[in-house]
Every structure is written in structure tokens, then in C-alpha cells.
């Protein structure tokens, strides 16, 4: 079947289904009716007009720098883009008053008075830098006084006035100037000059082609007038793009009821066809030695791309006759290549669907001309047009994906990801997308992870990978087909991106679990990192499954035939079992889980005791013991379950630790990094003796443990004996080691919790002697525990001593970003008031609450009232001077309600008293 026969068949198919064929293009009226100008101007008006023309012809020249669009026109913000009218009517507004666009960058129009216009006309402004503003002044004056005079203005006035209106952000005024140009300007010097009219309209379309500067209807009216005036010159690509955009937003928009057969649309098609046929330059006609090179490098003119877009628009509107007409003419001009026609022939034999035939041919043509990204909208329309996709659509989709992923670029990768996501979402279980393309998208995203983001979409390669994974994990898509996880070469990068950059823990958890469940093994060099990431983010079950899979040696020992395999396997397992980050994080994770289970078990046992102690109603009546209730049985089952989980987690943490230690033995030959990790693991398991033994090994080798590990060790020691931890700090100082602020804060926190104020005071003095700032980050918990316990059990004198120690620690801290939280500040203020110390309460408020808590907060206001009340009380009792009390009350913002020297004022009823 040849091309002509195919087109005739498709046309006959359309003819059979066509209801109301449109009027032929040649018989349709072209152009638009011209408006009547009205009565002729008076003789005085003509005289004034001639003076204006003679003055302005030399003033507002179109030559030189002003022949190009103004570079001073600022980009238009979305707030100033005019709303599209409901009707494409392009009639001019005859009202003098105009509603200007509003926005922050919109400036006032120049004053258009008769005196100012005459002043402009009297002077020579050839080199005047304000000629744009003066042009706009003249235009506004004539438009407001006598619009007939606009016909006498040269084109330079219209252009300069339009530039000024655009610079001022007065978009409605710019639109009025464009409409008045169409209505009144026929040529300079009072003569009809179609060539000058065409050039002026073309200049307007080029200068103001930026989206939003001119309304869609005005753009189409300018284009229509340019065609009517004879099409002198050529429209720029920017102008053609703007006309295309206006057409797609109006006459060819599904959401609007405009006619796709509007003359302006058909004229635009004819213009593009003219451009395409003129610039065709068929490479097959080239003779000589360079014939092959020309054919390979040939690219169709840009008009062809716009014609492809128009075919798509008419198919979307279901006006297949116009789409077929454009398609036929593109075939005749050889812009739809032979292989696309042959492909269409094969589809026609299987399906008589016009949309499938034409859009698939356009996709093939785009691939022929290397327009990979431009083919994606056609393919997307094809996929979205069918409720049930078929094999032909999958074949074309995968062919386009192959081309998009051929060369690794971010724009092609994003286009491929979006097309693949669309197909996966729309397809059925029996027609999945090949796993190959999903894996290729992940792999290429990893290769392009350092590339710049795509300018058109503002997305990066990592964004494409995350979006691709999210689409494949949707429940509806998972029910159709289980797509593979990212390749082992990129999974580590993607996991880090999910957990550290985008913080998408849901996707990260699913990915780790998918890797754990997959039969495919990870590459050896990424296994430890994947497990470490999983453990550090709390993905316990998947991390444990991966550790069991890659850290255990499953080969039997003693078989000489497998000696090399055993060595290789041992090396592979050692990469996981001997990894310090994996061991530390796995032990820490499962010890935390065991601690949580122990706490839950303790709570359940407490609940069970409460249930057992509570007498039942039958027991109260009969005086006997009541049988076990269902609630007790359930609680016992939960206790058994929690205890078994506690033991399991604890045993697994111990197993990881032992595996790590076995990998290091003999410990005397292990390096510093691994020994530090082993010491931390032992301290985390509560094995302080074993942890200190590791430190002894390092010290024997004259190696100093890391400060972080020392702090971990001191934390564990301080829980059992805070004074022993303090002696370790003292020994470090005597041996020339310098503890940091975290070290002091760790021991102080334990001392505060234990109520050992003497020890805390000694540590504060030692830190001051060493000029070490106390880190409040580790002390806050101890402060909270100590103050709470002291408030509940200690007398005021003891409580004040405790609070003074807390105050010293806070003042010794140099890390203001780590000050205790406002909640801790409120606790200390309340404790100070209970200890009957206004000074302490005020100081805690000044350091921990002032500027950090909302001034008008209900609790904060009440707290300030209570401090002020206590201050006045201490003045009356003689414990505080009036001057100091006055300073405190003024800083509290209560000087008007609390006069120093008088007894407690009455606080508002709404304020809390405690």
C-alpha cells in the first residue's frame, strides 16, 4: 500500500463519520471588517496634525537602537498577567477611561495635559532620553481628547509609547495602544502604506511576544491585520511562537467554545505551510560527494514542529478533517518520512483509529528528525486517549523511551521518567512496561546525579529517580506488576538521597524492605552502607534480614576443594560483620528496641498488679476471690510477647557484637578505628569492664581513645557511680589530657540527677580552671531530673542550693544555641518561687525565657506576674532593695501594675496562680 492509497483510505474513513463538513478554506471569508472612522477632522485639526507630524517625524526615529525590542522591559510578574477574556472579540474599546493592571511594579502614567503636549511639540527631542515618556504623553492626550488624531501619529509614537507602557507595567494601556495601532495607523505622513503597516505590526508582535504582555485576542488581531496588509517581511520565531500560543489558548482550546475553523487559525496554518515548503530543501536532491552528510544532518524548518503541534491540537478537538489536511500536506512535503508511513500502514490494517494512526506517525517522524523530547506530548496524548492500551501503543512507547535514554541528559531523563510513569499508571496487568526501562531510568539518574537541574522543569536527575520509584510503589501499580528496585550500583546513592536530602522515610523504608526481599544480591562494596543506612534510620526488620544474609558464613569448613570459595566468602561476609558503622548502629538500634520492650513489660506488669489488686463485684458480695478476667489473661499474653521480643533483640545485639569482635581478633593487632567501635559497642551493651579493657589495649599502644568514645564510657560509668566517673575526669586532667565541654556536661548531668551538688560544684570549678565551656546539650536532662526531684522532696534551703548549682552551670556554658529549653526554664522559675527566691526566679526567666517564649502567652504572663509578686513581697520583708526590685519589675513589663514597696497586687482572675 503506497502513501497516497493510505491517505485516501483514512480520508474515506473520516468522510463516513463526518457529520457537518466545514466550509472549504478557499471559500471562507478572509480578514475582518474594518471599522468606520467617522466624520472627517476639521481644518484646524488637520493643521494641528500636520504640525505634529512635522515635529515628530524627526524626533521619534525608528532607526538605530530603537529598531530592536526594548531590553529595559522588565519580566512581567504573574499578578500582572491580564485575565483571558471569555470572548475572542477584538473590537477596540472606545471609552476614554481604562482600567490599568495592578501590581507592586506598576507605576503611574505620565500626565497627559494640553500644555504638556504643546511643550513637547515646541522643542527638538531627537536626542532626548525621555522620548518614550513623551510619546506616551502624546498618545494618552490624543486618545482622551480626540481619537481621530491618532491616525496622524507616526508609527514611532506608537512603538515608543508601547515600550514605555510596558516598562511602567501598564499592560491594559499597552493593549489599548496595540488596538489603536490596528484601527488608526495606515502609514506615515498621512499616506496609506501597507508595507509600513506590516513592518509596524510585525515589530509589535516581536517586541511584546513575552507571555502576558499582550492579551491572546490582541495577538491574534495583530496577526490577522498583518496578513490583511500583505504579509510584507517575515515574522520572527518569537512572534510565531506567541501567535501559536494564543491560538492554542483560544480557538484551539478544549475548555472554550471557539471555532477551530476561525479564519485566523487557517491563515496561520497557510503561513506555516508556506514557510515549510519554502525552506524544505529536500536532501535527497543533493548531488556530489557531500550528499550523504547533508542527508544525515538535515533538520526540518521550525514551522514543521508547529504544524505537528497543530495536528495534535485538532485531533484533541476531534476535528480530524483539518488534522488530516495538514497531515496530508506534510506527507507531500516529505516531512512525514517513509518509515512513519509504513508504520501507519501496519496499524491501519489492525485498527481504523484515526488518532492512533496519525499520532503514532508523528511520533515516528519526531524520532526520524531526532526530536526526542518533542515526541513525548504526542505519545502522552496517545496513551491518555485510550482506557485500555494495546500492544502497538506499548511498542511505540518503548521505542521512544529507548531513544530518550540513548544519550544521558537531564531533560531527556525527566521526559523518559514522566512518559514511563504515565504508561505504568494507565496500563493493565497483562501489558506492563518492560522492567528494563525502569532500571535504565534509575541507573541513568545515578550517572547524572551531579548534573545541573533541567531549566524547563526545574527538576534534577535525583527528582526523576524518586518520582519513578514512587510511581512503581503505588498500590494500584503494584497490583498490576512488581517493578524491580534500583540497581545495586545506584541504590546506595538513592537511599542517601531519600534519607538525607528529601527526608522521604516512607520511600526509604519501602526500598530497604524491597532490597531485603529481593533474590538479587547487592554488590559487596555497597552492602555495609545499605545496612548502616537502614539501621541508622530505624528500619530494624529489613536491616536485620540484610545483616543475616550478608554477615553469616554458610559454607562448611574443612573442605579443601572450596578453600578459595571460603576465603572469598569470608572476605564478603567480613565486609558486613567487620564494618564499624554497621556494628555500632545495629547494636545501638537493637539495644534501644530491647529497652523499649523492657519498659513496656514493666508497664504491663504494673497494670497486671493493678488488675489483680482491684476486687471484683462478686468478691465484694461473697467475700471470696474472683477468677481471672479476660483482661488479665490478655495482659499476661502481652507480657510474654514483650519479654520474648526483649530477649530476642538483646540476643541479636549481643550476636552482632560477638561477630564484630571475632572479626577483629586478635585485638592487639586491630586498628584504632575498629577498637574504638568495639569499646562503644561494649558500653552500649552495658558491659563497662569489657569496654575499659579495650581502652587499656589502646593505652598500652600509646593511643588515646576518641573523645566521643570516652564520653560514651563516662555516661555508662556515671549511671553506676558518678563519683568514679568524676575520678576518671580528674585522672585525665592529671595525665595531661583535656576533657571537653561534653565530658564535663555528661558527668555533671549524672551528678545533678544523683543530687550530688558538692561534686557538681567541684566539676564547675575544674572546668573554669581549664577554661572549658560547659555544653548544656548533655546537661539539660540532668537539670530537669534534679530540679523535679528536689521540688518534690527537699526543703527550700536545699532546693535553693540545687538551683544555684544549676545557675552556675548555665552561666558557665558558652554554647548559647544549646541553652535549656523554655520548658526547662519554666520549671526552674517555678522551683525558684517555691524556694522563695525572687532573684533566682528572675535570673532563670531572664536567661531562659526572655525573648524565647511568647510575651503574651497565657502561662508566660502568669509566670511574670508571680515573679513580680514575689519581688514586692521580698522588698516588704527587707530581703531586697527597692532599686533592684524596680529594675526587675520594669524588665518584666509590669511596672504599671506592680509598685515596689507595697504588698502583693491582685492579679487578673484569668491568670494562673501556680
- Please provide the DSSP assignment of 711-739 as one string: HHHHHHHHHH-HHHHHHHHHHHHHTT---
* pLDDT exceeds cutoff 80 at 127: no
Identify whether 367 is part of a domain: yes
| Percent of the chain scoring above 90 in pLDDT | 30
Query: Binning pLDDT at 50, 70 and 90, where does residue 750 land?
Result: confident
What would the mean pLDDT of 584-589 be, rounded to a whole number? 94
Identify whether 817 is part of a domain: no
Distance between CA atoms of residues 56 and 126, nearest Å: 9
User: Does residue 273 sit in the same domain as residue 196?
Assistant: no
User: Does residue 207 sit in the same domain as residue 279?
Assistant: no
Query: Binning pLDDT at 50, 70 and 90, where does residue 375 land?
Result: very high
Identify whether 256 is part of a domain: no
Q: Residue 804: left (phi > 0), alpha (psi -120 to 50), or beta?
A: alpha
Rounded (10°) CA dihedral 4, 8, 10, 12: 180
User: Does residue 165 sit in the same domain as residue 50?
Assistant: yes
Query: Binning pLDDT at 50, 70 and 90, where does residue 189 land?
Result: low
Rounded (10°) CA dihedral 702, 706, 707, 710: -80
Distance between CA atoms of residues 553 and 249, nearest Å: 66
User: Does residue 19 sit in the same domain as residue 52?
Assistant: no
* Total of domains in the chain: 3
Query: For 247-276, what is each residue's pLDDT tens digit?
Result: 888 888 876 656 777 888 888 998 899 888
Query: For 636-659, what is each residue's pLDDT tens digit?
Result: 899 999 999 999 999 999 999 999
| Percent of the chain scoring above 70 in pLDDT | 75
Cell numbers given for 454: 533541567
User: Does residue 76 sit in the same domain as residue 166?
Assistant: yes
- Long-range contacts from 640-649, C-beta under 8 angstroms, 24+ separation: 642/597, 642/600, 642/601, 642/604, 643/597, 643/601, 645/593, 645/597, 646/594, 646/597, 646/598, 646/601, 649/590, 649/591, 649/593, 649/594, 649/597
Identify whether 113 is part of a domain: yes
Could you tell me if 657 and 682 are in contact, meaning their C-beta atoms sit under 8 angstroms apart?
yes
CA nearest 335: which of 275, 261, 263? 275
What would the mean pLDDT of 96-113 be, rounded to a whole number? 49
What are the two backbone dihedrals, phi and then psi, of residue 211, each rounded to the nearest 5 degrees? -60, 130
Please give the residue that has the higher pLDDT: either 506 or 131: 506
Query: Binning pLDDT at 50, 70 and 90, where does residue 772 land?
Result: confident
User: Does residue 58 sit in the same domain as residue 201?
Assistant: yes
CA nearest 165: which of 124, 218, 94? 218
What are the two backbone dihedrals, phi and then psi, of residue 214, each rounded to the nearest 5 degrees? -120, 145
* pLDDT exceeds cutoff 90 at 447: yes
**Cis omega before residue 800 (within 30°)?**
no
Distance between CA atoms of residues 774 and 741, nearest Å: 4
How is residue 666 annotated by DSSP?
Answer: S
52-86 core/surface letters (b: 16 or more CB in 10 A; e: else): bbebbeebbbbeeebeebbeebeebeeebebeeee
Residue 22: what pLDDT? 41
Last residue of a domain, one of 215, 242, 269: 242
- Long-range contacts from 712-715, C-beta under 8 angstroms, 24+ separation: 712/679, 712/680, 712/683, 712/684, 713/679, 713/683, 713/688, 714/743, 714/746, 714/747, 715/683, 715/746, 715/750
SS3 214: strand
Distance between CA atoms of residues 800 and 43, nearest Å: 102
Show Cβ contacts of residue 825 under 8 Å, excluding neighbours closer than 6 positions: 844, 845, 847, 848, 849, 852, 853
CA nearest 14: which of 300, 312, 276, 324? 324
What would the mean pLDDT of 602-618 be, rounded to a whole number? 72
Query: For 192-215, what is each residue's pLDDT tens digit?
Result: 788 888 888 888 888 888 767 888
CA nearest 203: which of 150, 156, 250, 271? 156
Beta bridge partners of 211: 214
* pLDDT exceeds cutoff 80 at 89: no
User: Does residue 232 sit in the same domain as residue 334?
Assistant: no
Distance between CA atoms of residues 336 and 87, nearest Å: 36
Q: For cell 484515526, name the residue.
A: 354
Last residue of a domain, one of 321, 339, 371: 371
Residue 557: what pLDDT? 44
Residue 899: what pLDDT? 72
What would the mean pLDDT of 751-769 be, rounded to a whole number? 81
What would the mean pLDDT of 597-602 be, rounded to a whole number? 91
Distance between CA atoms of residues 611 and 811, nearest Å: 49
User: Does residue 214 sit in the same domain as residue 272?
Assistant: no
Identify whether 615 is part of a domain: no
Identify whether 313 is part of a domain: yes
Distance between CA atoms of residues 741 and 172, nearest Å: 66
**Cis omega before residue 666 (within 30°)?**
yes
Cell numbers given for 883: 532599686
Number of neighbouring beta carbons within 10 Å of residue 912: 12
- Return the biggest CA–CA distance within the chain: 124
CA nearest 645: which of 681, 593, 599, 603? 593
Length of the chain: 914
Residue 32: what pLDDT? 35
Last residue of a domain, one of 484, 518, 549: 484
CA nearest 418: which of 355, 448, 373, 452? 373
What would the mean pLDDT of 537-556 be, rounded to a whole number? 84
Distance between CA atoms of residues 810 and 779, nearest Å: 9
Query: For 134-155, what is each residue's pLDDT tens digit?
Result: 788 888 888 888 888 888 788 8
Query: Binning pLDDT at 50, 70 and 90, where does residue 473 land?
Result: very high
Residue 71: what pLDDT? 30
Residue 548: what pLDDT? 94
User: Does residue 215 sit in the same domain as residue 314?
Assistant: no
User: Does residue 222 sit in the same domain as residue 124?
Assistant: yes
Which H or E element spans position 463?
Answer: helix 461-472
3-class DSSP string for 47-87: HHHHHHHHHHHHHCCCCHHHHCCCCCCCCCCHHHCCCCCCC
* pLDDT exceeds cutoff 60 at 511: yes
CA nearest 322: which of 275, 289, 350, 354? 354
Cell numbers given for 172: 491594559
Identify whether 298 is part of a domain: yes
Distance between CA atoms of residues 523 and 512, nearest Å: 15
* pLDDT exceeds cutoff 90 at 469: yes
Show Cβ contacts of residue 321 under 8 Å, excluding neighbours closer than 6 positions: 14, 18, 21, 22
Share the mean pLDDT of the chain: 78
Distance between CA atoms of residues 314 and 605, nearest Å: 74
Residue 61: what pLDDT? 36
Could you tell me if 157 and 138 are in contact, meaning their C-beta atoms sit under 8 angstroms apart?
yes
Show Cβ contacts of residue 879 under 8 Å, excluding neighbours closer than 6 positions: none
Question: What domain range is 348 assigned to?
Answer: 1-28+261-371
Distance between CA atoms of residues 175 and 104, nearest Å: 19
Show Cβ contacts of residue 181 under 8 Å, excluding neighbours closer than 6 positions: 155, 158, 200, 201, 204
480-498 core/surface letters (b: 16 or more CB in 10 A; e: else): bbebebbbbebbbbbbebb
User: Does residue 207 sit in the same domain as residue 271?
Assistant: no
Query: For 856-912, what is each residue's pLDDT tens digit?
Result: 888 899 999 999 999 988 888 888 998 899 999 999 988 777 776 544 444 444 444
What would the mean pLDDT of 740-763 be, rounded to a whole number? 81
Cell numbers given for 365: 517522524
Residue 632: what pLDDT? 81
> Exposed, middle or buried: residue 297 (CB in 10 Å: 0-12, 13-18, 19+)?
exposed
195-205 core/surface letters (b: 16 or more CB in 10 A; e: else): ebbbbbbbbbb
Query: For 397-416, what is each residue's pLDDT tens digit?
Result: 999 999 999 989 999 999 99
Query: Binning pLDDT at 50, 70 and 90, where does residue 570 land?
Result: low
Q: Residue 615: left (phi > 0), alpha (psi -120 to 50), or beta?
A: beta
Show Cβ contacts of residue 766 under 8 Å, excluding neighbours closer than 6 positions: 729, 730, 733, 744
User: Does residue 235 sit in the same domain as residue 194?
Assistant: yes
Please give the residue that has the higher pLDDT: either 8 or 404: 404
SS3 211: strand
Query: Binning pLDDT at 50, 70 and 90, where does residue 3 land?
Result: low
Distance between CA atoms of residues 170 and 164, nearest Å: 9
Query: Binning pLDDT at 50, 70 and 90, where does residue 4 land?
Result: low
Q: For cell 513496656, name the residue.
A: 600
What would the mean pLDDT of 300-316 be, rounded to a whole number? 89
End-to-end CA distance of the chain: 95
Identify whether 530 is part of a domain: no
* pLDDT exceeds cutoff 50 at 100: no
Could you tell me if 439 and 518 are in contact, meaning their C-beta atoms sit under 8 angstroms apart?
no
Query: For 113-125, what is each residue's pLDDT tens digit?
Result: 666 665 565 554 4
Amino acid at each position: 500500500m503506497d502513501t497516497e492509497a493510505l491517505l485516501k483510505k483514512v480520508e474515506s474513513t473520516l468522510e463516513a463519520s463526518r457529520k457537518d463538513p466545514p466550509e472549504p478554506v478557499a471559500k471562507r471569508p478572509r480578514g475582518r471588517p474594518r471599522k468606520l472612522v467617522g466624520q472627517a477632522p476639521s481644518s484646524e485639526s488637520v493643521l494641528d496634525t500636520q504640525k505634529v507630524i512635522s515635529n515628530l517625524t524627526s524626533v521619534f526615529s525608528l532607526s538605530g537602537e530603537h529598531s530592536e525590542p526594548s531590553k529595559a522591559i522588565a519580566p512581567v510578574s504573574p499578578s500582572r498577567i491580564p485575565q483571558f477574556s471569555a470572548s475572542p472579540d477584538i473590537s477596540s474599546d472606545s471609552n476614554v477611561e481604562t482600567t490599568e493592571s495592578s501590581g507592586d511594579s506598576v507605576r503611574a502614567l505620565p500626565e497627559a495635559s494640553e500644555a504638556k503636549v504643546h511643550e513637547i511639540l515646541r522643542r527638538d527631542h531627537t536626542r532626548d532620553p525621555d522620548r518614550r515618556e513623551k510619546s506616551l504623553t502624546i498618545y494618552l492626550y490624543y486618545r482622551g481628547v480626540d481619537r481621530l488624531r491618532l491616525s496622524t501619529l507616526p508609527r514611532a509614537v506608537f512603538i515608543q509609547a508601547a515600550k514605555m507602557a510596558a516598562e511602567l507595567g501598564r499592560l491594559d494601556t499597552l493593549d489599548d495602544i496595540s488596538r489603536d495601532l490596528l484601527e488608526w495607523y495606515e502609514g506615515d505622513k498621512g499616506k496609506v502604506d501597507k508595507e509600513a503597516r506590516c513592518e509596524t505590526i510585525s515589530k509589535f508582535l516581536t517586541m511584546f511576544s513575552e507571555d502576558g504582555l499582550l492579551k491572546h485576542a490582541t495577538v491574534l488581531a495583530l496577526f490577522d491585520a498583518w496578513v490583511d496588509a500583505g504579509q510584507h517581511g517575515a515574522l520572527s520565531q518569537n512572534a510565531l511562537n506567541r501567535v501559536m500560543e494564543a491560538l492554542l489558548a483560544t480557538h484551539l482550546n478544549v475548555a472554550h467554545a471557539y471555532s477551530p475553523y476561525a479564519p485566523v487559525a487557517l491563515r496561520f496554518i497557510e503561513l506555516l505551510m508556506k514557510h515549510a515548503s519554502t525552506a524544505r530543501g529536500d536532501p535527497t536532491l543533493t548531488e556530489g560527494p557531500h550528499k550523504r552528510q547533508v542527508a544525515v544532518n538535515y533538520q526540518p524548518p521550525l514551522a514543521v514542529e508547529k504544524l505537528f503541534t497543530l495536528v495534535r491540537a485538532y485531533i484533541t478537538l476531534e476535528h480530524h478533517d483539518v488534522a488530516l489536511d495538514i497531515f496530508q500536506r506534510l506527507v507531500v512535503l516529505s516531512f512525514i518520512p517513509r518509515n512513519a508511513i509504513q508504520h501507519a500502514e501496519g496499524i491501519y490494517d489492525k485498527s481504523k483509529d484515526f488518532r492512533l494512526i496519525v499520532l503514532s506517525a508523528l511520533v515516528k517522524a519526531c524520532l526520524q528528525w531526532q526530536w526526542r523530547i518533542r515526541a513525548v506530548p504526542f505519545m502522552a496524548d496517545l496513551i491518555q486517549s485510550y482506557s485500555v492500551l494495546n500492544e502497538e501503543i506499548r511498542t511505540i512507547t518503548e521505542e521512544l523511551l529507548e531513544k530518550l535514554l540513548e544519550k544521558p541528559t537531564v531533560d531527556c531523563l525527566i521526559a523518559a521518567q514522566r512518559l514511563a510513569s504515565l504508561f505504568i499508571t494507565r496500563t493493565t496487568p497483562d501489558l506492563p512496561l518492560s522492567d528494563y526501562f525502569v532500571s535504565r531510568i534509575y541507573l541513568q539518574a545515578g550517572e547524572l546525579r551531579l548534573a545541573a537541574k533541567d531549566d524547563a522543569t526545574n527538576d534534577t536527575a535525583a527528582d526523576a529517580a524518586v518520582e519513578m520509584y514512587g510511581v512503581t510503589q503505588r498500590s494500584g501499580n503494584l497490583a498490576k506488576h512488581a517493578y524491580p528496585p534500583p540497581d545495586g550500583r545506584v541504590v546506595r546513592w538513592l537511599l542517601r538521597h531519600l534519607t538525607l536530602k528529601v527526608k522521604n522515610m516512607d520511600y526509604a523504608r519501602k526500598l530497604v524492605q524491597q532490597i531485603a526481599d529481593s533474590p538479587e544480591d547487592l554488590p559487596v562494596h555497597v552492602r555495609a552502607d545499605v545496612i548502616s543506612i537502614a539501621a541508622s534510620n530505624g528500619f530494624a526488620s529489613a536491616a536485620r534480614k540484610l545483616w543475616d544474609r550478608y554477615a553469616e558464613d554458610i559454607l562448611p569448613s574443612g573442605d579443601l576443594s572450596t578453600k578459595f570459595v571460603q576465603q572469598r566468602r569470608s572476605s564478603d561476609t567480613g565486609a558486613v560483620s567487620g564494618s564499624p558503622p554497621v556494628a555500632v548502629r545495629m547494636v545501638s538500634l537493637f539495644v534501644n528496641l530491647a529497652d523499649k520492650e523492657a519498659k513496656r513489660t514493666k508497664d504491663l506488669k504494673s497494670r497486671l498488679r493493678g488488675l489483680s489488686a482491684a476486687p471484683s463485684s462478686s468478691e465484694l458480695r461473697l467475700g471470696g476471690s474472683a477468677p481471672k478476667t479476660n483482661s488479665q489473661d490478655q495482659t499476661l499474653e502481652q507480657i510474654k510477647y514483650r519479654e520474648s521480643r526483649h530477649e530476642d533483640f538483646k540476643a541479636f545485639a549481643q550476636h552482632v557484637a560477638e561477630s564484630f569482635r571475632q572479626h577483629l581478633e586478635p585485638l592487639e593487632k586491630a586498628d584504632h578505628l575498629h577498637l574504638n567501635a568495639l569499646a562503644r559497642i561494649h558500653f552500649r551493651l552495658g558491659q563497662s569492664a569489657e569496654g575499659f579493657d579495650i581502652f587499656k589495649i589502646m593505652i598500652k599502644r600509646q593511643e588515646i581513645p576518641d573523645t566521643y568514645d570516652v564520653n560514651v564510657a563516662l555516661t555508662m560509668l556515671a549511671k553506676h557511680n558518678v563519683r568514679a566517673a568524676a575520678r576518671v575526669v580528674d585522672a585525665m586532667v592529671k595525665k595531661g589530657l583535656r576533657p571537653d565541654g561534653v565530658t564535663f556536661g555528661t558527668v555533671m548531668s549524672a551528678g545533678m540527677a544523683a543530687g550530688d551538688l558538692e561534686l557538681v560544684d567541684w566539676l564547675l570549678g575544674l572546668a573554669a580552671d581549664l577554661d572549658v565551656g560547659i555544653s548544656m546539650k548533655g546537661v539539660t536532662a540532668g537539670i530537669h531530673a534534679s530540679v523535679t526531684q528536689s521540688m518534690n522532696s527537699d526543703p527550700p534551703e536545699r532546693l535553693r542550693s540545687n538551683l544555684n548549682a544549676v545557675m552556675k552551670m548555665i552561666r558557665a556554658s558558652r554554647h548559647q544555641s544549646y541553652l535549656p529549653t523554655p520548658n526547662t526554664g519554666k520549671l526552674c522559675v517555678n522551683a525558684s518561687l517555691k524556694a522563695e527566691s525572687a532573684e533566682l526566679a528572675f535570673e532563670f526567666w531572664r536567661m531562659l525565657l526572655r525573648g524565647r517564649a511568647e510575651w503574651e502567652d497565657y502561662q508566660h504572663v502568669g509566670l511574670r506576674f508571680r515573679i513580680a509578686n514575689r519581688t514586692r513581697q521580698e522588698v516588704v520583708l527587707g530581703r531586697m532593695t527597692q532599686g533592684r526590685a524596680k529594675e526587675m519589675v520594669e524588665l518584666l513589663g509590669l511596672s504599671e501594675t506592680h509598685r515596689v514597696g507595697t504588698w502583693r497586687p491582685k492579679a487578673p482572675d484569668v491568670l494562673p496562680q501556680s
